Amino acid sequence: MSQKRTHEIACPFCGREQEVALWDSINVDSEPELREALLLNRVNRVECAGCGKGFRIDKPLVYRDREQDIFVHFDPLTGGRALADVEKSFREAMAELNRLLPKDVPPPEAHLVVEWSELIERVFLLEEGLDARLVEHIKYMLFQQNEGKIPASQKGLLFDAQDSTDEQLCFVVQDRSTKKLEAALNFARADYEALVNVFDSEDQLALLEEQFPGPYLNGRLRYLQDLAEP
């Protein structure tokens, strides 16, 4: 079941305080219209009762699609929380969930994202049957290949399902501060399939898991980390 709760919030534009109902979790098996609402950016969006301006409230949200086995936890880094703390509480919550599950029920493969755009991206790529870790690995390679052109400190890459084809996986370049989409990069699907085969071997998979131990997977941050190391 999807769950909504009432919150007391203040409008970021005019300061008016008001009560709004926000989603804690959405389950698209029982309410498929919520999938559409999420992808159209309408979930946890508020229209101020005072000034009429619209804005989104960044609060934790669980996205669940049992039929397609998709489980994404959006936990934004609000209130100055560090990524390490968010990963720690995610691990604890998953351990607790697995403890509560009956022994014969395999635990869901849960994904952690911390930005709204990552939530939408992750839902799309899982629906496409892509491997999230491999997609972040590809982003890492794209940053490496486009060094100078796409500075990882300022630009992000997002998988773009709508513009992807049977031949190409499409990635859009997004400026981290303006949020503007600036360019598109393609990655051949045949090369993706080749990577799937490479990482099919246990040794290679271990290398990929070492590159992205998780639970939070981010090719851009990993690339910046490796750049910073001597």
**Positions in 15-34 near Zn ion (CB under 5 A):** 16
Let me know how long the chain is.
230
Q: Which of 28, 46, 48, 130 binds Zn ion (CB under 5 A)?
A: 48
Size of the site for Zn ion (CB under 5 A): 7
- C-alpha span between 11 and 18 (Å, rounded): 8
Among 4-12, 33-41, 96-104, 197-205, which window interacts with Zn ion (CB under 5 A)?
A: 4-12
Supply the DSSP symbol for 127.
H
Among candidate residues 134, 137, 142, 176, the one with its CA nearest the CA of residue 156: 176
**Helix or strand or coil: residue 149?**
coil
- C-alpha span between 39 and 26 (Å, rounded): 12
What are φ and ψ of residue 6, in 5° steps? -90, 135
Among 42-50, 85-93, 148-156, 174-182, which window interacts with Zn ion (CB under 5 A)?
A: 42-50
Q: Which of 11, 142, 173, 217 binds Zn ion (CB under 5 A)?
A: 11
What stretch of H or E contains 99?
Answer: helix 83-100
Distance of CA 73 to the CA centre of its chain: 8
Task: Work out whether 207 is an interface residue with Zn ion (CB under 5 A).
Answer: no
- C-alpha span between 20 and 6 (Å, rounded): 5
Q: How far is the CB of 51 from Zn ion (least distance, A)?
A: 3
What stretch of H or E contains 208?
Answer: helix 202-211
Output 32 or 54, the one with its CB closest to Zn ion.
Answer: 54
Among 44-52, 97-105, 121-129, 152-160, which window interacts with Zn ion (CB under 5 A)?
A: 44-52
Task: Work out whether 51 is an interface residue with Zn ion (CB under 5 A).
Answer: yes
Please report how the helices 132-145 and 202-211 are oriented relative to each other, as an axis angle in degrees rounded to 10: 70
Task: Work out whether 14 is an interface residue with Zn ion (CB under 5 A).
Answer: yes
Q: How far is the CB of 18 from Zn ion (least distance, A)?
A: 8
Q: Which of 5, 13, 29, 96 binds Zn ion (CB under 5 A)?
A: 13
Output 52 or 107, the one with its CB closest to Zn ion.
Answer: 52
Task: Work out whether 49 is an interface residue with Zn ion (CB under 5 A).
Answer: no
Q: Which residues bind Zn ion (CB under 5 A)?
A: 11, 13-14, 16, 48, 50-51
